[in-house]
Structure formats: C-alpha cells, structure tokens
C-alpha cells in the first residue's frame, strides 16, 4: 500500500476555554483541547479520520485546494 502525504492547513485559536482547531480545506473537521500539545494531537486524529471517510474523487477535490496564511502588522491607533 502506497502512503501519500498532503499539506493540510490548520487554524488554531486560543481563548479563555482552551484551544480550538479547524481545517478550512475540510468542512466540519474541527476539534478542541486544553493545551497546544493536546490540540495538535486531536486535530491530527480528526484529519486522518475525516480523510478516511472520503472517496478518491472527494480526496482529490478537497486536498488540491491551496490555502495560504499571512500575518500582517497593522496600525491600531
């Protein structure tokens, strides 16, 4: 069995309740956790489970979407 890899964009947000992570490429693929280590493990598992439910055609369509993140410094005052 061939193993292939794909880059998946993950957004992690921290708030007063802990961490929340989601994947814009995979609608509905999301999780939460109490620590950064926990959220990384949780989202890895969520992604792998999500992808395992997809057909080959769905995988091809969703995983070819390229998402870029950009942090900008802006004036706020």
Residue 33 C-alpha from the chain's centroid: 14
Cα separation, 63 vs 66, whole angstroms: 8
**Is pLDDT of 67 > 90?**
no
Can you say whether the dihedral through the CA atoms of 10, 38, 3, 59 is positive or negative?
negative
Q: Is 26 helix (H, G, I), strand (E, B) or coil?
A: coil
Tens of pLDDT, residues 30-59: 999 999 999 999 999 999 999 999 999 998
Q: Which domains does the chain have, with CATH numbers?
A: 11-63 (3.30.160.250)
pTM: 0.82
């Amino acid at each position: 069995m061939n193993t292939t890899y794909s880059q998946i964009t993950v957004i992690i947000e921290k708030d007063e309740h802990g961490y929340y992570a989601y994947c814009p490429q995979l609608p509905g693929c999301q999780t939460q956790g109490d620590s950064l280590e926990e959220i990384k493990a949780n989202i890895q598992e969520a992604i792998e489970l999500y992808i395992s439910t997809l057909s080959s055609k769905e995988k091809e369509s969703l995983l070819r979407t390229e998402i870029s993140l950009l942090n900008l410094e802006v004036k706020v005052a």
